[in-house]
Amino acid sequence: MLAVPDYPLGQHTLGQNSTKFPYCIYLQFHLYHDSSLLFCLFQDNHIKTSKYNIFTFLPINLFEQFQRVANAYFLFLLILQLIPQVSSLSWFTTIVPLALVLTITAVKDATDDYVKDMEGVQIISHCECFWSQGIIAVLVFGLPQADLLLLSSSEPYGLSYVETAELDGETNLKVRQALTVTSELGADIHKLAEFDGEVVCEPPNNKLDRFTGTLLWKDGKFPLDNGKLLLRGCVLRNTEWCFGMVIFAGLETKLMQNCGRTTFKRTSIDRLMNTLVLWIFGFLMCMGIILAIGNSVWEKSVGGNFRKLYLPWDEVLSDAFFSGFLTFWSYIIILNTVVPISLYVSVEVIRLGHSYFINWDRRMYQAQRDTPAEARTTTLNEELGQVEYIFSDKTGTLTQNIMVFSKCSINGKIYDSADAPRRLIPKKTPCVDFSFNPLRDRRFRFHDHSLLEAMKLDETAVREFFRLLALCHTVMPEEKMEGELVYQAQSPDEGALVTAARNFGFVFRARTPETITVYELGKAVTYQLLAILDFNNVRKRMSVIVRNPQGRARLYCKGADTILFDRLEPASEELLCTTSEHLNVRFAGEGLRTLALAYRDLDEDFFQGWMQRLREACSLVEKREDLLASLYEEMEREMTLLGATAIEDKLEQGVAETIACLTLASIKIWVLTGDKMETAINIAYSCNMLRDDMNELLEQGKEEDPNCLPSGPDCCVVLSLQAHALEADLEGLLLDTACLCRTVICCRVTPLQKAQVVELVKRRRRAVTLAIGDGANDVSMIKTAHIGVGISGQEGMQAVLASDYSFAQFRHLQRLLLVHGRWSYFRMCNFLCYFFYKNFAFTLVHFWFGFFCGFSAQTVYDQWFITLFNIVYTSLPVLAMGLFDQDVNEKNSIRFPKLYEPGQLNLLFNKRQFFLCSLQGAYTSFTLFFIPYGALYHGVRDDGANVTDQQSFAVTIATSLFVILICFQIGLDTNYWTAINHFYIWGSLAVYFSILFAMHSNGIFGIFPSQFPFIGTARSSLSQPVVWLVILLTTVVCVAPVLVVRFLRADLYPTQTDKVKCVTSGVCEACPNG
Amino acid sequence: MGKKVAGSGPCSRIPDNSAFKQQRLPAWSPSLTAETVLPFFYIIGLVCVLLGVALFLTVQKIQEIQVDYTTSGTCDACFEMRSNKMSASVKCRCSVDFSLKENFQEDVFLYYGLVNFHQNLRRYMDSRDDGQLVGRTTNLKNPSTYCEPFAYNNGTPIAPCGAIANSMFNDSFTLKYLPPTGGVVIVPFYRTGIAWYTDKNVKFRNPQIENELLPQVFQGTAQPFYWQKPVYELDPSDPNNNGFINEDFIVWMREAAFPSFKKLYGILNRQSKAIFEHGLPAGNYSVTISYNFPAQYFQGKKLVVLSTVSWFGGKNIFLPIAYIVTGGVILVVAVVLTVVYIKIGKKGLNMEE
């Protein structure tokens, strides 16, 4: 860590809370324009993920809540109820539940927001020192929190190394170099303090790989490009410290520009519910109009005469039309319970419960990182059961970003470390013991002992093989303490190869521009480095020319097999066949990254001549590249093949199985990565997303010719996206092509493009999308997708902060979707069906009664029953069902991924299901009204007294309704009766009867005679056999048809669930899905 | 705080391994199999049919007669008289003859019935003050606003207030048995014991003021507009059946759920005359009505009903028939289901992809 002296703070009082950052140095400085300066001065750099603060909370939250159609509607009802001529129900029947709902939701929102906010703060404050309101930042080995212009660093020439995996998914180290003039500033605080350069640059934008600007300093103009910039989100590596000047901060950083907007996510069920509420409202209107017309007609024909004598209204009210108008509103109030407010509370509670179950799941806990899964948003759970498309990041999500030397073929012989993840590791094979080698890397594992034996037996080919690996690379060694070597590789592949050579006894130890020192089995050998023929994407190979201590020059070359095999000497023919068979049969298809290795002994004269021409070529200005390429071509010929290596890009645990399982569940997985196409393809092979038998279709995104589109389901597409591929006219084509294919991989996508791809699928396919990623470059797609999942427990937390769910490993996705998602969806749908059914049955009784009470908006039930029905009497059993029900247990949910399909097809709750539920509700209400009507019309008690009075009728209907709903319908809908379900169901029954008797008791009537006029009704009517006979008959008539339909459906058209249930219960012998 | 598990520290964030949190609570998972559903249907069907038959047989034993007296007998004159508001306070009596074909066994109940009288209108039902009726003296003089426009008569509070009380049924009946041997025997009826116990003893109470008699208590209140006598003089024969606890009043105040209803008027007093010891003998009867209640305004009818009761109430044929039909349908469905299950059902389950 850089020791920064306690610098006198407060000289330039730029930010009032500057004392929070004692390590930061503030300097007077000009930015590229003034407004931006102000912006920089006062912009809080903390990523703002929270929506509210204390003052804005109430208005914003209430505004948001009343945006829900339902809440606004209840407010409207409440106002209606306050008009005495209209009010058919007391105002408390609405305000109590409404207040309850608003409070619960507000508290929940506030907690959510607070938790998010706190996490944001934690992330920021754990960095050692970061950019603050000041203008110049000191970085101490960490993550820059702003886009910085690199001024100087601890490394020579103002170099610094950064890893940009968070930004673009590329894993190799990248070099950033400061301008020479500024790198001279070094770590001299005083000089830095006097730095007064001015940067003129382009406005903030989201292009990660481009930057143009000019630094004006000391009367000089210095051009700036991307190579001098440290972007927020990248990680500083191998660089102790560096100084930078803030170019963009806060929202202006390229990272934040790529983040997309935070939007309020809604599930499709939510949207459906809003639509249904509108429908129901329309339905209410219709019923209201019918009843209002009925009222007008009744007033004209019957009521007017009746009322003249018995109920003279005010003059105004006696007009039949006006009376109908008032009745309309009265009925709107009475019938509003079709969509009770408690629906929304219950939905929230159920979702919250499901979120807790996700948090509590031990099988989504990762021990190494001590990370449990976390549902960061509690409103999206049921959508987890409907996912059709998964968009996955590659690096850090599918792969661990660790390269492992796993196999090699040397001189026609295969050495195979059985450490391949998808095979059973033979437990008997212990790791090769490298203890003879004091310079070994202790983390290196290899399982094939024969390779070490071959090495010890002094097989030339094997030794040459490892010598090549130790020499031919661009790795930088770092030896902080004697014997503790650390390699700094630009690409992890190279690191893996050099490490392998190191453990097998060819330890690359030091490098100067002219020499390479290798400890060959303990002996130090220094090679003269004559030339490096570096790697590029066209050549796909790199070579070094070294002279060994004996004075012989030799070319060592490694590169793609296809390229290298064309450049071998004819004598290698036989070896070539064996090796290429190894490559194609043994290595390929496992997604291993392969390289072929070869060498060439150089003739001294030829070499000197070539060297001469190389020097000349280097000094050329024009056509240098071409000339160099042909010179390299000339040198890399007639080589002798040594063998091939295979490197495994280690997948995260269980990735391939998870992908296979999710594919079986008809979920399409697209890989979106900023990485190179080759790497992406390798990974796709190793996770079984690509197979050899697939038609590979490489799209460069440039010329897309609709005629050459592939067809057939067995193809895959690899897209290398260019900016215009997502333009309006091409996107349709792109999507159609992609959707024809089984596997889609998009490479070279910028974070914003990731979001665009997700958006495209979301918009055009109307499918539920899930994006999973771990880095800052995934934030935009995580925010865009219906569901965003962040991989937690790693360095960057930005993906997690933006995500809706987070867990430690990709494989947990399987459980999140197939178990939690499926259950959530199933439970929510079941819950909604039951809930709509319940309330239709409950409410429509009023409609039927309207025809008997002169359409006067008289309620059938006691007002207390109406108030308590949804919040007390019937809420808990259905909540228990919504929280705990399981149609199929977790084991079978995973075993039969097909069970996931109903969610994708939206089968369990849709408009049709809603219609059926409402119809069933209407039927129940019909029987519920007319059977008691028929039976009690002329009924009397056994002592001759009346039982047809309105109060007895109310109690009879309420009790029948209750018995049907609570004892039977919920029983039929519950698949998994835990003790809690029993408790709630029987408890509700007990509560109903105790409250009923309490409210009809003498005591409470004695205190509030006007509020509890039902005194004695429960006793009088429920002691009558005729009432119970009516209840029994109503129940049988309501429940029997449901039972018949369910039985027939399970019997004749069994769903997957029925089959699985049947098989697992042992009743059936059939085996679903073979 | 996570439970301590091998390999994890006490601060580990590993979730609890409880059955609840892991959603592995022991549970019972019933499913609708043929073995449970089919027997259930047969049993329920049988139970319904048997119950229906039993009810049917019971109902057959109940005797009931309804006499519409709106305009029949000598009542058409009274009907005309009541159409005219001017003659509202003129007394009118009329009688209707009818005969019982067979003996009415045991207890016989006398009801009055009204057809097309909407006691279930919202505003009508609200128009009462339970505080006043339970005898609260404050409410007595300050009736609730719900009672409007029947709360005050020129500033004097009305007791009992409200539309229901105002429209109280005020016909009275005298039933005469005309034995074949000649002569007239007045059939005696109990006029109390016709209201619910809770209504009579809890819900309706007279206001109590120490050392004051009922008329004094009601001093300062007016009788409802349509009443011919104040509330404390409703039953001249029984001083304890006056005021708010008058049983005719209580019965009326228990609003009917439907526009056509009957309300209990009296119970045959079998003790007072030997001839009625076993109920009403078959024969000719005449009912004399003190015809006060106007029915023409609401195009209604007025009835007198004589009925016996069984353990589940009056002559109610709907319930037994409904039970028999339901039971029958369920049995038929059960048979169909059985056939479907045996013929097709098993095949359906085996159809795998």
Q: What is the pLDDT of residue A308?
A: 67
- Residues in B closer than 8 angstroms to A856, CB to CB, are 118, 120-124
A979 contacts on B by Cβ (under 8 Å): 25-26
Contact residues, chain A, for B203 at CB < 8 Å: 1005, 1013, 1015-1016
Confidence of residue A720 (pLDDT cuts 50, 70, 90): low
The confidence band for A793, taking pLDDT boundaries of 50, 70 and 90, is low
- What is the reported pLDDT for A889? 87
**Are residues B297 and A1033, on separate chains, in Cβ contact within 8 Å?**
no
Q: Is the model's pLDDT at A705 over the cut of 50?
A: no
Q: What is the pLDDT of residues B87-129, one digit of tens each?
A: 777 888 888 989 888 888 888 999 999 988 888 888 888 888 8
Query: Does B236 have pLDDT greater than 90?
Result: no
How far is the alpha carbon of B129 from chain A, nearest alpha carbon, in Å? 7
Portion of chain A with pLDDT greater than 70, in percent: 83
Q: At A102, list the tokens.
A: 């608003």
Paired with A719 in beta bridges are A699, A746
A957 touches chain B (CB under 8 A): no
* Site from B108, B318, B323, B351 to mutate, A interface, most A CB atoms within 10 angstroms: B318
- Which residues of chain A have a CB within 8 Å of the CB of B312? 942, 1024-1026, 1029
Structural tokens at position A3: 């020791």
Distance CA A1010, CA A407 (A): 89
Annotated binding site of A for Mg(2+): 393, 395, 774, 778
**Interatomic CA distance for residues A321 and A292, integer angstroms:** 9
Q: How far apart are CA A973 and CA A689, in angstroms?
A: 39
Q: Is A944 on the interface with B (CB under 8 A)?
A: yes
Is pLDDT at B1 greater than 60 in this prediction?
no
Choose among B7, B22, B260: nearest Cβ to A360. Answer: B22
Amino acid A704: pLDDT:
42
Mind listing the pLDDT tens digit for each residue in A859-906?
899 888 888 888 888 888 999 999 999 988 888 889 899 999 999 998
A367-383 pLDDT, tens digit per residue, is 888 889 989 888 889 99
Closest approach of A684 to chain B, Cα-based (Å): 30
**pLDDT given at position B170:** 86
**Helix residue spans in B113-263 (DSSP H):** 122-126, 130-133, 137-141, 163-166, 197-198, 214-217, 247-253
pLDDT tens per residue, range A528-571: 988 888 887 678 888 999 998 888 889 999 988 888 888 888 88
Q: Does A365 sit within 8 Å of B298, measured CB to CB?
A: no
| Helix or strand run (H / E) with residue A503 | helix A492-503
d(CA A790, CA A580): 40
Other Cβ atoms within 10 Å of A3 Cβ, number:
8
pLDDT at A361 over 70: yes
Nearest residue of A to residue B134 by CA position? A1009
B249 or A201: whose pLDDT is higher?
B249
Q: What's the rounded mean pLDDT across residues B253-282?
A: 88
Mean pLDDT of chain A, nearest integer: 79
Residues in chain B within 8 Å Cβ distance of A820: none
Residue with token string 């009746």: A306
User: Taking CA atoms, what residue in B is nearest to A1023?
Assistant: B312
Q: Is A750 helix (H, G, I), strand (E, B) or coil?
A: coil
Residue A32 pLDDT > 60, yes or no?
Answer: no
Q: Among A131-145, A714-728, A807-821, where is mean pLDDT lowest?
A: A131-145
Exposure string (b/e) for A917-951, b if CB count within 10 Å is 16 or more?
bbebbbbbbbbbbbbbbbbbbbbbbbbbbbbbbbb
Q: Which residue in B50, B292, B312 has the most chain A C-beta atoms within 10 A of its own C-beta, making it the best mutation to test that interface?
A: B312
- Torsion angle, alpha carbons of A144, A148, A154, A159, to 10: 110
Mean pLDDT of chain B: 85
Are residues A940 and B322, on separate chains, in Cβ contact within 8 Å? Answer: no
Mean pLDDT, residues A424-436: 64
Q: Are B309 and A944 in contact (CB under 8 A)?
A: yes
Task: Report CA torsion sign: B316, B319, B321, B324.
Answer: negative
Q: What are phi and psi of A808, to 5 degrees?
A: -85, -25
A415: which 2 tokens?
């050495």
Distance from CA of B318 to the nearest CA of A (A): 6
pLDDT at site A711: 41
Instruction: Classify residue A252 as exposed, middle or buried by CB count within 10 Å of its CB (0-12, 13-18, 19+).
Output: buried
For residues A227-235, average pLDDT: 81
**Nearest Cα residue to A805 out of A250, A390, A367:** A390
* Ramachandran region, residue A250 (left: φ > 0; alpha: ψ -120 to 50; beta: rest): left
Residues of chain B with C-beta less than 8 angstroms from the C-beta of A862: none
- Alpha-carbon gap: A332 to the closest alpha carbon of chain B (Å): 15
Whether A302 and B299 lie within 8 Å, measured CB to CB? yes
Kindly state the average pLDDT of the residues A791-802: 75
CB atoms A976 and B51 under 8 Å: no
The nearest CA of chain B is from the CA of A854 a distance in Å of: 7
Who wins on pLDDT, A388 or A193?
A: A388
With bands split at pLDDT 50, 70 and 90, how would you rate the model's confidence at A815?
very high
Q: Has residue A637 got a pLDDT over 90?
A: no
Compute the average pLDDT of residues A755-761. Answer: 87
Q: Does A976 lie at the interface with B, CB-CB under 8 angstroms?
A: yes
What pLDDT does residue B41 have?
93
Region for A412 from its dihedrals, namely left if φ exceeds 0, alpha if ψ lies in -120 to 50, beta otherwise:
left
A458 carries an active-site annotation: no
What is the percentage of chain A residues whose pLDDT exceeds 90? 18
Which of A892, A940, A1027, A1030 to mutate against chain B (most B CBs within 10 Å)? A940
The count of other CB atoms within 10 Å of the CB of residue A910 is: 15
Q: Who wins on pLDDT, A472 or A147? A: A472
pLDDT digits (tens, 9 = 90+) for A98-132: 787 788 778 877 877 776 565 544 433 333 333 33
Q: If pLDDT is split at 50, 70 and 90, which confidence band does A26 have?
A: very low
Residues of A in Cβ contact (< 8 Å) with B167: 309-310
Predicted confidence (pLDDT) per residue in A577-593, tens digit: 888 888 877 776 676 77
Count A/B contacts: CB-CB distance under 8 Å: 297
Residue-level pLDDT at A712: 42
Taking only the tens place, the pLDDT of each residue in A57-92 is: 788 888 877 777 667 877 888 888 888 777 777 777
User: Could you read off the pLDDT of A928-966 as tens digits, one per residue?
Assistant: 999 999 888 777 787 778 778 889 999 999 999 988 888
What are A129's two structure tokens?
């020192």
Please tell me which residue in A393, A493, A862, A973 is annotated as part of the active site: A393
A residues 365..404 contacting B (CB < 8 A) = 365, 367, 370-372
Q: Which of residues 792-851 of A touch B (CB under 8 A)?
A: 823
A933 in contact with B at a CB cutoff of 8 Å? yes
Annotated binding site of A for ATP: 393-395, 494, 535, 558, 593, 673-675, 748, 754, 777-778
Find which of B129, B244, B255, B319 to mutate to test the A interface (most A CBs within 10 Å of its CB): B319
A1048 to B337: CB separation less than 8 angstroms, yes or no: yes
Higher pLDDT, A222 or A724: A222
pLDDT tens, position by position, B287-332? 999 888 888 777 888 999 998 888 877 788 889 999 999 999 999 9
Reply yes or no on whether the pLDDT at B158 is more than 80.
yes
Instruction: State the average pLDDT over residues B30-36.
Output: 81
